[in-house]
């Protein structure tokens, strides 16, 4: 037990995983800076990195929270697309006639419609998982198809474009100290989720349900209630990602960003969230997000690595991280067992 | 040949910084039933693992059948005739009885194909050794716990066991099953098999064992014949402390009714009536499957009754969920601490705080961390949870201390009715005494306590009256004056 205590103190109260992630981030950052100094260390690269990571960063937060509760949310990408399509279509329908301040109001209404979409999608996921006891993996695999289907039907299968330029300009092309506004939105949301998960009773309950749902029920936790809120939160985060992507691309489509599903799971696992639930930090997800973005940008700087290799590289990364986490967990468990053995 | 089948001398074993065995000796004579007793964490499991070759001792020697080993391997131990019946029995639930029994021998024979006839012959031979009547084609998962244990014993005998180590074999058995197990142990003894019986239940030790060794904190503190043993001595050597044997029930006086159950029926029990009064400890007993657990679940909103009513403090209530039960001042310490009670990998603090989250958070749901920390620290101290820090995972605690954490969680809600299902299973004597005293004190404060248990001594020690259930019905109620162990044993 002494061992455990000393370990955590020597790392300045950071858990092992955060320390590992920080080391990894710094190492990759240094390698990238040294091998491709002109391209990597340019302000243009930093701007584009901070723009790109926002969307899957937000999606990863949702997947992470679902995973902490003992489940998973595979539908986030399609909730994002559906929300973006709803926002885009509402905007187009209203904006045709609008001018001046009215325009901003309509944009706001459209954004709220998108957020509401995320809310409803998340609530439906939560309903299936909590009330009907469908395993989260299957429930969200099903709703993933469902939300994509709805998105295809309402958009007629085509790209929704023709979004008012004000909207894109405002969100995607505004900079503060050279950093895009969307990145600030992301940072704010990360801070907010850290607060929710570590300082509120809801957050604590999500962790407890993820650790042992049966004991949670015996402790008087209203499990259905907490789980529905969990997936609503995930849905809201996804809709926000969708709306930001709408602003960045000035368009939305039912099947944008399909590869993000893999990437969010990679980030969440890399961030140290226990796939069985109950463990992990939002801080870890944040660090994993920026690490993955740096790796991804760095890979882009080698034209000789074709896009065909991307899936292979990410696949190897996911499995590698799982193996490292597994053996790290085993070590911790062994240490704990030794410390408590009779 | 020596007359000792096993002789362990001066064995030390450390794990990390923990000195689990500090030079222990253990000598077992051939053909005896030897009891190894001690509280949780005293080194019982470690010594078993040393004898069976799972752990290598740091120093000291193990002598089996006259042969000395400084460290023994698992296969050497099996060859020397050591077999262990673990608490979980290590049987394959998805295979049949026959397959479970024959599989080891079949695997050892290195044949590639399975011969069903051969299997049946081996299995029959095994069950006949202990006169165990069982359907060889039944799936093991469908059998009662006691039968699984007998399968493990039969299998051990197939491997020519000379020394069978049984790790707390009676914990999950009912009275009749324990009786049958004891008959089999007697029988084995006649066949010349030596038994090391790990237990901390004194009445069992008296009944079945010839001699006893007691461990405390990694040392052997006593070895003697069971005939030289008495209750006080046993408790003293186990815990190192003296308990006043005074009746803890001395100032019991019951007040107004606090919980009344009328004609209550639910899946598992039928037409149950009783009245719990303030300041009273009511025992509910019966065998596994008698409906005692279901009754406790129904009172806590985890099982929906289809008939009857529950009256709390004079008002008829509908307990639809544990949250609702908590609101009504009802608390339940569940039967299975590990799966129903605890968040094992989470901190002691979180485990205690779970029921206080609503009370100690702002309207927007932000936790008052200081208040929650104080609350948890206070309970750790008040109820005597032995730990260095309440931020440690609850799995680092011993069984008794884990149970105290579950108790603290519910006492924190200041319940009027406290229901405890099997409150001291797997809890050592010291903690058991603490918990029993605590329950009496809680009753004296005017709360109503329900203890669901099949531990006769526990019921007699803490309860004012005991209701006995059988097949979902209350078949008897024994009032305070008539309550004694012999009387109660007849009904359970």
* β-sheet with B33-37: strand ranges across: B82-85, B163-167, B194-198, B33-37, B211-216, B219-225
DSSP B297: H
- Tokens read off for B457: 């001594």
Q: Do A204 and B353 touch (CB under 8 A)?
A: yes
Tokens 């973005």 belong to A293
Domain of B145 in residue numbering reads as 4-239
Instruction: Give contacts of B322 with chain A, Cβ < 8 Å.
Output: 217-220
d(CA A47, CA B409): 50
How do the domains of chain A map onto residue ranges? Answer: 54-301
CB contact under 8 A, B322 and A217: yes
* CA nearest neighbour of B437 among B461, B419, B459, B417: B461
Quick check: A222 and B323 CB within 8 A? yes
Question: CB–CB of B219/B195 below 8 Å?
Answer: no
Q: What integer pLDDT is reported at residue A339 of this predicted model? A: 55
List B residues 396-455 in contact with A (Cβ-Cβ < 8 A): 396, 409
Distance in angstroms (rounded) separating the CA atoms of residues A90 and A115 = 12
The answer to whether residue B393 sits within a structural domain is yes
Which structure tokens are listed for B161? 């066991």
* Token digits of residue B256: 């107004």
Mean pLDDT (chain B, rounded): 85
B50 and B13 Cβ atoms separated by less than 8 Å: yes
Instruction: Considering only the beta carbons, identify the residue of B325, B341, B392 that sits closest to A215.
Output: B341
Do B291 and B435 belong to one domain? yes
Domain-terminating residue out of B181, B213, B239: B239
Residues B314 and B198 reside in one and the same domain: no
Same domain, yes or no: B210 and B288:
no
Verify whether the Cβ–Cβ distance A217 to B388 is below 8 Å: no
CA of B485, closest CA in chain A: separation in Å?
32
CATH number of the domain to which B415 belongs: 3.40.50.300
pLDDT in tens, chain B (492 residues): 458 888 888 898 887 666 788 888 999 998 899 999 887 668 888 888 888 888 888 888 888 888 888 888 888 888 888 888 887 777 888 888 888 888 877 776 777 777 788 888 888 888 887 778 888 888 888 887 778 888 888 888 888 888 999 888 887 777 778 888 888 888 888 888 899 998 877 778 888 899 999 988 888 888 888 888 887 788 888 877 776 545 566 555 667 889 999 999 999 899 999 999 998 999 998 877 788 999 999 999 999 999 999 999 889 999 999 999 999 999 999 988 888 999 988 999 999 999 999 999 999 999 999 999 999 999 999 988 888 888 888 888 878 889 999 999 999 999 999 999 989 887 877 888 889 999 999 999 889 999 998 888 888 888 988 999 988 898 888 887 777 777 777 676
> How far is the C-alpha of B199 from the C-alpha of B176, rounded, in Å?
18
> Is B322's CB within 8 Å of A207's CB?
no
Exposed e or buried b per residue across B253-266, where buried means at least 16 C-beta atoms within 10 angstroms of its C-beta: ebeebbbbbeebeb
Contact residues, B window 244-273, toward A, CB-based 8 Å cutoff: none
Chain A (258-277) residues lying within 8 Å, Cβ to Cβ, of chain B? none
Cβ–Cβ contact A212 with B under 8 A: yes
- Any domain includes B448: yes
Exposed/middle/buried for residue A120 (C-beta within 10 Å: 0-12, 13-18, 19+): middle
pLDDT at A328: 75
* Both structure tokens of A159: 């790209």
What residues of A are in contact with residue B334 (Cβ under 8 Å)?
218
In a domain, B249, yes or no: no
User: In terms of Cα–Cα distance, which of B315, B306, B319, B317 is closest to B264?
Assistant: B306
How many CB atoms sit inside 10 A of residue B96's CB? Answer: 18
**Interchain contact A229–B (C-beta under 8 A):** no
Q: Are residues B476 and B331 part of one domain?
A: yes
Contact B67, B244 (CB under 8 A): no
Contact A217 B16 (CB under 8 A): no
In whole angstroms, give the CA distance from residue A27 to residue A33: 10
Q: B166 vs A35, A175, B84, CA distance in Å?
A: 64, 72, 6
Distance CA B24, CA A232 (A): 58
CA distance A91 to chain B (A): 33
List C-alpha distances in Å: B54 to A331, B75, B299, B358. 19, 10, 45, 47
Q: Of B212, B239, B266, which marks where a domain is finished?
A: B239
Task: Select the residue of B18, B41, B395 nearest A338 (Cβ to Cβ).
Answer: B18
B365/A218 Cβ within 8 A = no
pLDDT score recorded for residue A338: 57
Whole-number pLDDT of residue A13 = 41
Q: Taking CB atoms and an 8 Å cut-off, how many pairs form between chains A and B? A: 107
Q: Does the beta-carbon distance from B45 to A204 stay under 8 Å?
A: no
Residue of B354, B387, B390, B409 for testing the chain A interface, max A β-carbons within 10 Å = B354
Q: State the smallest CA–CA distance between residue B372 and chain A in angstroms.
A: 11
Strands lying side by side in the sheet with B473-478: B330-333, B417-421, B448-452, B281-285, B465-470, B473-478
Contact flag A341-B42 (C-beta cutoff 8 Å): no
Q: Residues 127-166, chain B: which have Cβ within 8 Å of A?
A: none
Cβ of A222 and B321 within 8 Å? yes
**B163 and B196 Cβ atoms separated by less than 8 Å:** yes
Structural tokens at position B284: 């509910």
Chain B residue whose CA is closest to A214: B340
Considering only CB atoms, A208 lies closest to which of B43, B343, B365, namely B343
Does B309 share its domain with B272? yes
Q: In the block, which residue shows the tokens 């009904």?
A: B491
Say yes or no: B42 contacts chain A, CB-CB below 8 A.
yes
Nearest residue on chain B to A221, judged by CA atoms?
B323
Question: If you write DSSP's letter for every residue of A103-132 in order, what string do you get?
Answer: HHHHHHHHHHHHHHHHHHHHHHHHIIIIIS
Contacts of A51 (CB under 8 A, 6+ apart): A172, A180, A182, A183, A248
What letter does residue B394 receive in the DSSP assignment?
G
A214 contact residues in B (CB cutoff 8 A) = 339-340
Per DSSP, the residues of A132-196 read S---HHHHHHHHHHHHHHHHHHHHTTS-B----HHHHHHHHS-EETTEEHHHHHHHHHHHHHHHH
User: Is B248 part of a structural domain of the chain?
Assistant: no
Spatial CA neighbour of A170 closest among A108, A117, A109, A113: A108
Yes or no: say if B215 and B37 are a contact pair by the CB < 8 Å rule: yes
B46, B332, B334 ranked by CB distance to A342: nearest = B46
* B397 within domain boundaries: yes
For chain B, the straight-line distance linking the first and the last C-alpha, in angstroms and rounded, comes to 45
CA dist., res. B158 & res. B164, Å (int): 12
pLDDT tens, residue by residue, B197-224: 988 777 788 888 999 999 888 888 888 8
- Would you tell me how many other CB atoms lie within 10 Å of the CB of residue B320? 11
- pLDDT means over runs of 10, chain A (342 residues): 36 62 88 87 87 93 96 96 95 76 86 96 97 95 96 92 83 82 94 96 96 94 96 97 92 87 89 88 93 88 76 78 76 62 42
CA distance, residue A130 to nearest chain B CA (Å): 15
CA distance A52 to B218: 59
- Asked whether the beta carbons of residue B388 and residue A336 sit closer than 8 angstroms, the reply is no
* Beta-carbon contacts of residue B109 (< 8 Å; ≥ 6 apart): none
Share of chain B above pLDDT 90, in %: 29
Burial class of residue B463 in the structure, from the number of CB atoms within 10 Å of its CB (0-12 exposed, 13-18 middle, 19+ buried): buried
Measured between CA atoms, the residue of chain A closest to residue B218 is A342
How many domains, chain B?
2
Decide if B85 contacts B149 (C-beta within 8 A): yes
Specify the pLDDT at position B217.
Answer: 81
Q: Do A208 and B354 touch (CB under 8 A)?
A: yes
Asked if A341 reaches chain B (Cβ–Cβ under 8 Å), the answer is yes
Say how far apart CA A341 and CA A330 lie, in whole Å: 16
pTM of the model: 0.79
Query: Hey, which residues 345-384 in chain B have their CB within 8 Å of chain A?
Result: 345-346, 350, 353-355, 357-358, 361, 364-367, 369
To the nearest whole angstrom, how far is the Cα of B346 from the nearest Cα of chain A? 8
Contact B254, B443 (CB under 8 A): no
- Give the containing element (helix H, strand E) for B282: strand B281-285
DSSP string, B65-118: TTEEESS--HHHHHHTTEEEE-TTTT--TTSBHHHHHHHHHHHHTT-SS--HHH
In this structure, the answer to whether residues B234 and B267 fall within a common structural domain is no
User: Tell me, what's the pLDDT at A196?
Assistant: 96
Q: How many CB atoms lie within 10 A of CB A65?
A: 28
- The radius of gyration computed from the CA coordinates of chain A, to the nearest angstrom, equals 21
> Sign (positive/negative) of CA torsion B463, B469, B473, B477?
negative
Shortest Cα–Cα distance, A217 to chain B (Å): 7
CB contact under 8 A, B365 and A335: no
Asked if B171 and B200 touch (Cβ cutoff 8 Å), the reply is: no
């Amino acid at each position: 037990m002494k061992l455990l205590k000393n370990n955590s103190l020597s790392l300045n109260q950071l858990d092992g995983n955060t320390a590992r992630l920080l080391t990894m981030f710094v190492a990759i950052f240094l390698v990238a800076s040294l091998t491709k100094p002109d391209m990597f260390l340019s302000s243009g690269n930093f701007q584009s990195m901070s723009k790109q990571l926002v969307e899957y960063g937000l999606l990863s937060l949702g997947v992470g929270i679902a995973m902490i509760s003992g489940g998973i949310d595979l539908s986030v990408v399609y909730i994002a697309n559906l929300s973006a399509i709803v926002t885009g279509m509402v905007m187009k329908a209203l904006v045709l006639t609008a001018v001046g301040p009215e325009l901003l109001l309509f944009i706001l209404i459209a954004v709220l419609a998108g957020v509401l979409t995320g809310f409803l999608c998340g609530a439906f996921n939560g309903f299936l998982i909590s009330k009907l006891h469908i395993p989260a993996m299957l429930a969200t695999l099903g709703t993933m198809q469902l939300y994509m289907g709805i998105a295809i039907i309402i958009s007629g299968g085509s790209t929704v474009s023709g979004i008012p330029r004000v909207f894109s300009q405002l969100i995607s092309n505004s900079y503060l100290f050279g950093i895009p506004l969307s990145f600030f939105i992301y940072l704010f949301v990360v801070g907010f989720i850290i607060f929710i998960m570590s300082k509120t009773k809801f957050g604590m309950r999500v962790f407890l349900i993820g650790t042992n749902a049966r004991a949670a029920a015996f402790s008087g936790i209203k499990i259905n209630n907490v789980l529905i809120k969990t997936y609503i939160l995930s849905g809201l985060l996804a809709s926000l990602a969708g709306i930001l992507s709408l602003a960045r691309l000035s368009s939305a489509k039912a099947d944008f960003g399909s590869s993000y599903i893999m990437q969010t799971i990679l980030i969440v696992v890399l961030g140290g969230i226990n796939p069985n639930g109950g463990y992990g930090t939002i801080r870890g997800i944040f660090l994993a997000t920026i690490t993955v973005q740096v790796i991804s940008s760095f890979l882009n700087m080698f034209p000789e690595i074709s896009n065909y290799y991307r899936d292979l590289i990410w696949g190897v990364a996911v499995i590698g991280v799982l193996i490292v986490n597994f053996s790290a967990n085993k070590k911790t468990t062994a240490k704990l067992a030794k410390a408590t053995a009779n | 040949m020596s007359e000792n089948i096993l002789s362990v001398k001066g064995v030390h074993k450390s794990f990390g910084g923990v000195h689990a065995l500090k030079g222990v000796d253990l000598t077992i004579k051939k053909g005896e039933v030897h009891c190894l007793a001690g509280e949780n964490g005293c080194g019982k499991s470690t010594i078993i693992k040393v004898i069976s070759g799972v752990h290598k001792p740091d120093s000291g020697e193990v002598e089996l059948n006259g042969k000395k080993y400084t460290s023994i391997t698992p296969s050497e131990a099996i060859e020397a005739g050591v077999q262990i019946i673990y608490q979980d029995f290590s049987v394959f639930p998805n295979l049949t009885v026959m397959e479970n029994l024959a599989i080891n021998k079949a695997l050892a024979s290195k044949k590639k194909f399975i011969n069903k006839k051969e299997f049946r012959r081996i299995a029959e031979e095994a069950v006949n050794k202990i006169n165990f009547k069982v359907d060889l084609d039944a799936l093991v998962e469908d059998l009662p716990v006691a039968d699984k244990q007998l399968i493990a014993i039969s299998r051990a005998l197939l491997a020519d066991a000379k020394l069978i180590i049984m790790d707390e074999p009676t914990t999950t058995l009912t009275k009749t099953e324990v009786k049958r197990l004891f008959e089999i142990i007697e029988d084995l003894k006649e066949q010349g098999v030596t038994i090391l019986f790990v237990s901390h239940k004194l009445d069992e030790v008296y009944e079945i064992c010839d001699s006893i060794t007691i461990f405390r904190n990694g040392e052997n503190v006593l070895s003697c014949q069971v005939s030289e043993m008495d209750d006080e001595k046993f408790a003293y050597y186990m815990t190192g402390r003296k308990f006043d044997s005074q009746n803890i029930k001395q100032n019991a006086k019951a007040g107004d009714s606090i919980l009344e159950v009328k004609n209550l029926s639910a899946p598992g029990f039928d037409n149950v009536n009783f009245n719990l009064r303030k300041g009273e400890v009511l025992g509910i007993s019966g065998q596994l499957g008698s409906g005692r657990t279901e009754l406790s679940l129904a009172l806590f909103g985890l099982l929906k009754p289809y008939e009857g009513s529950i009256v709390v403090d004079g008002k008829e209530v509908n307990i639809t969920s544990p949250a609702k039960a908590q609101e009504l001042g009802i608390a339940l310490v569940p039967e299975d601490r590990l799966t129903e009670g605890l968040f094992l990998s989470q901190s002691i603090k979180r485990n205690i705080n779970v029921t206080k989250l609503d009370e100690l958070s702002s309207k927007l749901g932000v936790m008052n961390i200081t208040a929650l920390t104080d609350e948890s620290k206070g309970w750790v101290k008040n109820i005597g949870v032995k730990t260095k820090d309440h931020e440690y995972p609850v799995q680092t605690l011993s069984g008794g201390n884990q149970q105290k954490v579950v108790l603290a969680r519910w006492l924190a809600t200041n319940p009027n009715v406290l229901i405890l299902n099997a409150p001291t299973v797997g809890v050592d004597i010291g903690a058991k005494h603490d918990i029993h005293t605590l329950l009496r004190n809680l009753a004296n404060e005017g709360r109503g306590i329900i203890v669901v248990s099949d531990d006769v001594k526990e019921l007699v020690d803490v309860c004012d009256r005991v209701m006995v259930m059988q097949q979902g019905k209350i078949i008897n109620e024994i009032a305070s004056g008539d309550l004694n162990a012999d009387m109660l044993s007849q009904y359970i």
